């Protein structure tokens, strides 16, 4: 049964680890997927061998339910529901060739980041740039490392959207025995807590690379949780419990898990790599690098003080020595 009734159950834009894990999950449920892959080498390997050779290459995809295409217009036109799982840093370039309207689609964003140069979340940017109707987009977020999702490990996510009926249908599309959802309508709160957790994952990695222990890390992460609460209360006031897992669980996994690419970026810097060298060492995008600049600019505009986020910004963009920056931060706790 199709979600909204066209040829494919869902169109997918993006071919990184998270997109690949979600395609694997969808096709494992027998859902038909039209998948936009603009890297032709990856596209051909997915088509011929049923694997993504660059991301989650151990995951075998059921090609019976997949059609791949480098033509984003054909992909978007093929379904009424479009999943976007592209790093926020590249979203504009991915969508640049798009001529097919998104305004009559239901968009599911699985991206956790800010659009560089816009200082907007993905839902804010898409709603503004592509004239989406209110309720035309939902966000799926939460602690969700692609490596664990692809292996069927237990995972709890949040689906946030203004249109509850459509958002609950999106939940049904992805839900499995191991992948569980809850609904909320706090799109801004869910998106920006995910943006911030990427920045704080870098902070945790820096502390780890510098040799700080578990005791300090616990205090650091507690401080980060407080900064998320402060940011949301001032930038997007609403009735919410910021200590709820919808806002905090992703922070915890990003700061503590070895799968976290943002923590790995910070770890490399803490161990002595230059920022550029650390970025080159990674094989995937660390959204926190771009988010640190955007959050700094948003905080400056709104007169917000977030000491941990500011420390990360200074290390990444002002060439401040990581050890000195962390020592200065710790002196304020």
Q: Does position 6 have pLDDT exceeding 50, yes or no?
A: yes
pLDDT digits 0-9 by tens, 294-315 = 999 999 999 999 999 999 999 9
Per-residue confidence (pLDDT) for residue 285, from 0 to 100: 86
- Which is higher by pLDDT, 7 or 167? 167
Q: Does position 2 have pLDDT exceeding 70, yes or no?
A: no
Q: Dihedral, CA atoms, 83, 88, 89, 90, nearest 10 degrees? A: 10
pTM assigned to the model: 0.92
Query: What percent of the chain is modeled with pLDDT above 70?
Result: 98
Q: Does position 179 have pLDDT exceeding 60, yes or no?
A: yes
pLDDT digits 0-9 by tens, 247-274 = 999 999 999 999 899 999 999 999 999 9
- Strand 155-161 to 137-141 pairing: antiparallel
pLDDT digits 0-9 by tens, 25-84 = 999 999 999 999 999 999 999 999 999 999 999 999 999 999 999 999 999 999 999 999
CB count, 10 Å around CB of 287?
25
Per-residue confidence (pLDDT) for residue 133, from 0 to 100: 86
**How many CA atoms, within 13 angstroms, populate the side-chain half-sphere of residue 64?**
6
Query: What percent of the chain is modeled with pLDDT above 90?
Result: 92
pLDDT digits 0-9 by tens, 195-236 = 999 999 999 999 999 999 999 999 999 999 999 999 999 999
Q: Does position 106 have pLDDT exceeding 70, yes or no?
A: yes
What 3-state class would DSSP assign to 8?
coil
**Band of residue 7 on the pLDDT scale cut at 50, 70, 90:** confident
| Cβ-Cβ contacts under 8 Å for 307 (sequence gap 6 or more) | 223, 227, 329, 332
Per-residue confidence (pLDDT) for residue 5, from 0 to 100: 44
Q: Does position 4 have pLDDT exceeding 70, yes or no?
A: no
């Amino acid at each position: 049964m199709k979600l909204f009734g066209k040829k494919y159950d869902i169109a997918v834009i993006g071919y990184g680890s998270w997109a690949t894990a979600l395609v694997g999950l969808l096709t494992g449920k027998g859902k038909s997927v039209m998948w936009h892959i603009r890297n032709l080498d990856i596209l051909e390997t997915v088509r011929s061998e049923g694997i993504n050779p660059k991301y989650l290459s151990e995951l075998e995809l059921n090609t019976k339910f997949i059609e791949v295409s480098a033509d984003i217009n054909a992909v978007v036109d093929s379904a009424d529901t479009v999943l976007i799982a592209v790093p926020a840093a590249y979203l504009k370039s991915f969508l640049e060739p798009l001529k097919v309207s998104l305004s009559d689609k239901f968009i599911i964003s699985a991206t956790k980041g800010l659009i560089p140069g816009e200082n907007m979340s993905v839902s804010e940017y898409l709603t503004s740039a592509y004239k989406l109707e209110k309720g035309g987009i939902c966000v799926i977020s939460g602690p969700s490392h692609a490596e664990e999702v692809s292996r069927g490990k237990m995972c709890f996510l949040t689906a946030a959207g203004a249109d509850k009926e459509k958002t609950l249908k999106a939940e049904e599309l992805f839900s499995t025995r191991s992948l569980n959802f809850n609904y909320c309508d706090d799109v801004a709160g869910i998106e920006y807590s995910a943006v911030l957790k990427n920045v704080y994952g870098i902070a945790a990695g820096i502390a780890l690379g510098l040799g700080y222990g578990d005791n300090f890390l616990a205090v650091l992460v507690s401080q980060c949780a407080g900064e998320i609460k402060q940011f949301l209360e001032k930038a997007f006031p609403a009735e919410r419990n910021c200590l709820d897992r919808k806002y905090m669980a992703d922070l915890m996994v990003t700061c503590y898990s070895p799968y976290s690419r943002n923590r790995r970026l910070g770890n490399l810097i803490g161990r002595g790599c230059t920022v550029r060298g650390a970025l080159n060492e990674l094989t995937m995008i660390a959204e926190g690098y771009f988010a640190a600049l955007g959050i700094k600019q948003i905080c400056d505009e709104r007169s917000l003080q977030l000491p941990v986020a500011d420390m990360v910004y200074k290390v990444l963009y002002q060439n401040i020595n990581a050890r000195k920056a962390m020592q200065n931060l710790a002196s304020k706790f």
